[in-house]
């Protein structure tokens, strides 16, 4: 690990530096939807209030695949941004390559080890030192529903996959889009992940899709997963291919569709649309997953800088991210819950409370699992194998047996 200058020491330097010399931070992210942009705007404001300017390096494309491609080219050309939205095992991969700067001084000065649950803090460290700051905890296994649409269709909001098919058919027969969906690989993988968890359960999910246990993957359960996943093809609309996730969310918001299976960044879209949870929309655990929580922690990793002032600005940014003010306001806009423990819940809505409760409950039952669709569980290569298999299957008429066979082969080749 190459450390040019520890962020805290540099931050001290900054504090003594005349105001005009404060460095800017250039930040790569992919938060371009309404709710996402509102969230990132607050981080910009926080930093400007601390005299750190923000150069926005936004690369659109939900799920971040395009952003990561651009980041790699910038890093390889020796010109990485100050910080980038990097999550889960990718933090280790970037650390191995020697690109990341330690913010351990800032983290230790603020006692992050006690402010964060270990399932979060462990991911933020490389070689035992903090190199990234967590902004939130998203829950991915959610179903978002428009109750007025269900009422018009005489349907009820499903809690099992068998019931999902019955209720989706009622929505479809009533002329609604049953399942709002964007036909992009990461969205197909997000829905696939919910089916894996709901059909196979948390133990199977962990063994097969986190540990890559080939016996668990090569099982009847995987065939059952593909059987359920394949049935969903009939409940999306013909305009789904290429649709962005937040456009699918707007279909539920405007009453064109009954439901969407998506992480709780979708709640940020309901919020910017002025919708109220409980009346305009409801959030329920994706079918069969109420006791589980697929977690997706957004974080900013810091790239080694040659300029002391930029290293100092990294420390200011890391410190601001873990502040209670940022953790509250950012997550109220983003739809996620704070990464920081013991936050006041008063301003958060019932979906956030459900998420906070499920996070704690599932951590005690084994139901808290990392999202493989959102970069938290496996290497980029294995995640890519799952993405390719899920999206190829969903866009074909392949049988469940064929899907399961392709998944096993693709993961085996990627491991």
Q: How far is the CB of 376 from ligand GAL (least distance, A)?
A: 9
Q: Choose one: 58-66, 151-159, 164-172, 207-215; the region binding ligand GAL (CB under 6 A).
A: 58-66
Burial 167-178 (b: 16+ CB within 10 A, else e): bbebbbeeebbb
Q: Which of 26, 36, 104, 237 binds ligand GAL (CB under 6 A)?
A: 36
Q: How far is the CB of 14 from ligand GAL (least distance, A)?
A: 29
Q: How far is the CB of 402 from ligand GAL (least distance, A)?
A: 28
Q: Which of 146, 249, 292, 296 binds ligand GAL (CB under 6 A)?
A: 296
Q: Which of 7, 46, 63, 292 binds ligand GAL (CB under 6 A)?
A: 63
Q: Binding of ligand GAL at residue 31 (CB under 6 A)?
A: yes
**Residues 224 to 283: which contact ligand GAL by CB under 6 A?**
245, 265
Q: How far is the CB of 78 from ligand GAL (least distance, A)?
A: 27
Q: Which of 10, 22, 64, 352 binds ligand GAL (CB under 6 A)?
A: 64
* Token pair belonging to 392: 């190829």
Compare residues 24 and 244 and give the one whose CB is closer to ligand GAL: 244
DSSP 205-273: HIIIIIS--HHHHSSHHHHHHHHHHHHGGGGS-TT-BT--HHHHHHHHHTTSEEEEE--TTHHHHHHHT
- Tokens 């250039």: give the residue: 26
Q: Choose one: 57-65, 207-215, 339-347, 399-407; the region binding ligand GAL (CB under 6 A).
A: 57-65
Q: Binding of ligand GAL at residue 188 (CB under 6 A)?
A: no
Q: Binding of ligand GAL at residue 387 (CB under 6 A)?
A: no
Q: How far is the CB of 370 from ligand GAL (least distance, A)?
A: 12
Q: Choose one: 61-69, 75-83, 353-361, 398-406; the region binding ligand GAL (CB under 6 A).
A: 61-69
Half-sphere exposure of 149 (CA within 13 A, CB side): 31
Q: Binding of ligand GAL at residue 57 (CB under 6 A)?
A: no
Q: Read off φ and ψ for residue 242, nearest 5 degrees.
A: 80, -5
Q: Read off φ and ψ for residue 7, nearest 5 degrees.
A: -60, -35
Beta strand 293-296 with 368-370 is parallel
Compare residues 122 and 220 and give the one whose CB is closer to ligand GAL: 122
Ordered strands of the 368-370 beta sheet? 138-139, 293-296, 368-370
| Measured distance CA(313)–CA(8) in Å, rounded | 10
Q: Binding of ligand GAL at residue 335 (CB under 6 A)?
A: no
Q: How far is the CB of 265 from ligand GAL (least distance, A)?
A: 4
* Token pair belonging to 75: 């890093």
Task: State the Cα torsion 289-269-282-368 to the nearest 10°.
Answer: 20
> How many of the other CB atoms lie within 10 Å of CB of 76?
11
Element (H, E) at 365: helix 350-365
Q: How far is the CB of 39 from ligand GAL (least distance, A)?
A: 8
Q: Binding of ligand GAL at residue 62 (CB under 6 A)?
A: yes
Size of the site for ligand GAL (CB under 6 A): 12
Q: How far is the CB of 121 from ligand GAL (least distance, A)?
A: 18
Residue nearest to ligand GAL (CB): 62
Q: Choose one: 44-52, 59-67, 141-149, 320-328; the region binding ligand GAL (CB under 6 A).
A: 59-67
Q: Binding of ligand GAL at residue 193 (CB under 6 A)?
A: no
Range list of β-strands (E), 286-367 = 293-296, 299-302
Nearest to 5 by CA among 97, 112, 106: 106
Nearest to 301 by CA among 64, 117, 118: 64
- Tokens 């959102």: give the residue: 374
Q: Binding of ligand GAL at residue 298 (CB under 6 A)?
A: yes
In three-state secondary structure terms, 125 is: strand
**Residues 133 to 152: which contact ligand GAL by CB under 6 A?**
138
Where does this chain bind ligand GAL (CB under 6 A)?
30-31, 36, 62-64, 138, 245, 265, 296, 298, 374
């Amino acid at each position: 690990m190459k450390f040019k200058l520890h962020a805290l020491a540099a931050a001290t330097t900054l504090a003594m530096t005349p105001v005009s010399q404060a460095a800017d931070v250039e930040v790569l992210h992919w938060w371009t939807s309404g709710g996402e942009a509102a969230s990132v705007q607050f981080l910009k404001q926080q930093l400007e209030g601390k005299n750190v300017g923000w150069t926005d390096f936004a690369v659109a494309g939900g799920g971040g695949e395009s952003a990561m491609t651009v980041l790699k080219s910038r890093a390889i050309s020796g010109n990485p941004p100050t910080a980038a939205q990097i999550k889960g095992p990718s933090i280790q991969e970037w650390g191995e390559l020697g690109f990341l700067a330690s913010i351990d001084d800032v983290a230790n000065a603020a006692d992050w080890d006690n402010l964060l649950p270990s399932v979060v803090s462990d991911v933020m460290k490389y070689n035992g030192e903090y190199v990234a700051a967590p902004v939130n905890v998203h829950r991915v296994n959610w179903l978002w529903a428009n109750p007025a649409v269900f009422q018009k269709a005489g349907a009820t909001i499903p809690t099992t996959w068998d019931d999902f098919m019955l209720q989706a058919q009622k929505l479809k027969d009533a002329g609604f889009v049953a399942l709002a969906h964007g036909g992009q690989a990461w969205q197909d993988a997000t829905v696939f992940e919910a089916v894996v968890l709901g059909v196979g359960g948390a133990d199977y999910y962990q063994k097969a899709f986190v540990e890559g246990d080939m016996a668990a993957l090569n099982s009847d359960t995987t065939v059952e997963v593909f059987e359920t996943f394949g049935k969903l093809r009939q409940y999306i609309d013909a305009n789904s291919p290429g649709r962005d996730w937040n456009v699918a969310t707007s279909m539920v918001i405007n009453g064109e569709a009954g439901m969407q299976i998506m992480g709780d960044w979708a709640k940020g879209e309901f919020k910017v649309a002025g919708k109220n949870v409980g009346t305009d929309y409801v959030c329920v655990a994706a079918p069969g997953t109420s006791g589980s929580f697929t977690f997706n922690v957004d974080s900013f990793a810091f790239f080694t800088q040659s300029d002391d002032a930029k290293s100092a600005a990294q420390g200011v940014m890391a410190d601001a991210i873990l502040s209670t003010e940022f953790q509250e306001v950012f997550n109220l806009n983003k739809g996620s819950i704070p990464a920081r423990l013991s936050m006041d819940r008063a301003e958060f809505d019932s979906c956030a409370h459900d998420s906070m409760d499920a996070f704690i409950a599932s951590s005690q039952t084994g139901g808290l699992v990392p999202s493989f669709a959102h970069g938290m569980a496996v290497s980029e290569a294995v995640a890519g194998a799952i993405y390719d298999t899920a999206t190829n299957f969903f866009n074909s008429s392949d049988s469940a047996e064929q899907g399961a066979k392709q998944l096993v082969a693709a993961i085996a080749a990627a491991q």
